[in-house]
C-alpha cells in the first residue's frame, strides 16, 4: 500500500473552510484515497473516499489531483466539533493509519 | 443497528494474566478488523478476517496474541500472558465488503474500543 504524508497539525477558524492536504505520490492505479477522523479517544469515523474523481458528501469534499499524487479534504464550514485527528489513507484492501493531521478549530 | 460492540470497555490486569477482548460486528458485515492504538505507535492493524477466516495477521506483535472468529457475529482477541507494554486501546471494526468489491462497501465502522492497562 502506498504511503501518505500529512502535516502533523493545523489550525482553522470556526466557520471557515478547513483544507487538509495529503501527499500520496506513490499511489497506484487501483488504490483508493480515503479519509477518517478520530475525535478525542473515540474510534475513527469514516469521512469520505475517492478513486479518481472529486467527491462530496454531507460531511466534506475530497479533491484529488489529476495525477492522483495528492488530495485535499475540505470541511466547508468548520465547527468546534470538527477538532480531531484526520487520517488520509491510500490502499485497496487494508486500512493502514499513519500519524494523521491534528486539526484544531479555534473560536 | 447498535453498531460494533466491544467488551470490556476497560480492563486492568496484572502482568502475566490472560486477557480476552470481545467484539460483535455489525450484522451482515463480512470483514472484521482488530486495531491497537498507543501514543507511541498510533493506530496499528493487528489482523483482519473475511467471512470468519483470518486473511492477514502480519500485524500481530507476537505469539502471545491470538485472534479468533468462530462465527459471523463474534470475535475475540486474546493476550496470554499479558505484559505492561500491551497497555493500549484496542479497537474492533467491521465493514460490509472491501473497496474493490464495490464503491460503497469498504467503509469501516469502529467500536468504542477496549482500554487495557497491564500493571
- C-alpha cell of residue A22: 495529503
What are the backbone dihedrals phi and psi of residue A95, each rounded to the nearest 5 degrees, phi first?
A: -105, 105
Confidence at residue A32, expressed as pLDDT on a 0 to 100 scale: 87
CA distances from A31 to A3, A37, A88, B37, B99 (A): 11, 19, 13, 24, 9
Measured between CB atoms, does B57 come within 8 Å of chain A?
no
Counting as low any pLDDT under 50, the low residues of chain A are none
Confidence at residue B106, expressed as pLDDT on a 0 to 100 scale: 77
CB contact under 8 A, A97 and B45: yes
Q: What is the pLDDT of residues B40-74, one digit of tens each?
A: 999 999 999 999 999 999 999 889 999 999 999 99
B109 pLDDT band (50/70/90 cuts)? Answer: very high
- How many CB pairs below 8 Å do chains A and B form together? 54
Confidence at residue A94, expressed as pLDDT on a 0 to 100 scale: 75
Confidence at residue A31, expressed as pLDDT on a 0 to 100 scale: 85
Instruction: Reduce the secondary structure of A68-90 to three states and give it as a string.
Output: CCEEEEEECCCCHHHCEEEEEEE
CA distances from A60 to A100, B73, B84 (A): 17, 32, 40
Confidence at residue B107, expressed as pLDDT on a 0 to 100 scale: 85
B90, B108, B113, B117: best to mutate for the A interface, most A CBs within 10 A: B108
Confidence at residue A107, expressed as pLDDT on a 0 to 100 scale: 95
The answer to whether B110 and B24 have CB atoms below 8 angstroms apart is: no
Burial of A90 (0-12, 13-18, 19+ CB in 10 A): buried
Q: Once rounded to an integer, what is the mean pLDDT over residues B5-33? A: 96
* Element spanning A64, H or E: strand A61-64
Residue of A nearest to B106 (CA): A93
Confidence at residue A1, expressed as pLDDT on a 0 to 100 scale: 56
Confidence at residue B105, expressed as pLDDT on a 0 to 100 scale: 65
Query: In B, which residues are within 8 Å of A93 by CB distance?
Result: 98-100
Q: With 80 as the cut, is the pLDDT of residue B103 above it?
A: no
Q: How far apart are the CA of B116 and the nearest CA of chain A, in angstroms?
A: 13
Residue of B nearest to A50 (CA): B103
d(CA A35, CA B92): 18
B102 pLDDT band (50/70/90 cuts)? Answer: low
Measured between CB atoms, does B45 come within 8 Å of chain A?
yes
Mean pLDDT score of chain B, rounded to an integer? 92
Amino acid at each position: 500500500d502506498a504511503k501518505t504524508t500529512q502535516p502533523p497539525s493545523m489550525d482553522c477558524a470556526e466557520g471557515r473552510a478547513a483544507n487538509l492536504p495529503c501527499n500520496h505520490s506513490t499511489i497506484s492505479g487501483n488504490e483508493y484515497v480515503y479519509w477518517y477522523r478520530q475525535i478525542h479517544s473515540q474510534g475513527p469515523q469514516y469521512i469520505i473516499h475517492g478513486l479518481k474523481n472529486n467527491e462530496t458528501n454531507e460531511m466534506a469534499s475530497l479533491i484529488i489531483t489529476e495525477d492522483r499524487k495528492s488530495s485535499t479534504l475540505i470541511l466547508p464550514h468548520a465547527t468546534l466539533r470538527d477538532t480531531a485527528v484526520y487520517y488520509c489513507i491510500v490502499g485497496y484492501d487494508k486500512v493502514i493509519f499513519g500519524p494523521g493531521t491534528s486539526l484544531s478549530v479555534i473560536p | 443497528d447498535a453498531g460494533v460492540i466491544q467488551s470490556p470497555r476497560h480492563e486492568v490486569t496484572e502482568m502475566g494474566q490472560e486477557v480476552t477482548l470481545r467484539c460483535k460486528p455489525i450484522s451482515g458485515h463480512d470483514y472484521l478488523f482488530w486495531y491497537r492504538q498507543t501514543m507511541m505507535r498510533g493506530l496499528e492493524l493487528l489482523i483482519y478476517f473475511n467471512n470468519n477466516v483470518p486473511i492477514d495477521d502480519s500485524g500481530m506483535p507476537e505469539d502471545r496474541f491470538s485472534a479468533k472468529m468462530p462465527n459471523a457475529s463474534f470475535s475475540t482477541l486474546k493476550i496470554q500472558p499479558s505484559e505492561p507494554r500491551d497497555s493500549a486501546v484496542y479497537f474492533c471494526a467491521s465493514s460490509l465488503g472491501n473497496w474493490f468489491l464495490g464503491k460503497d462497501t469498504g467503509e469501516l465502522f469502529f467500536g468504542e474500543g477496549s482500554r487495557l492497562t497491564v500493571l
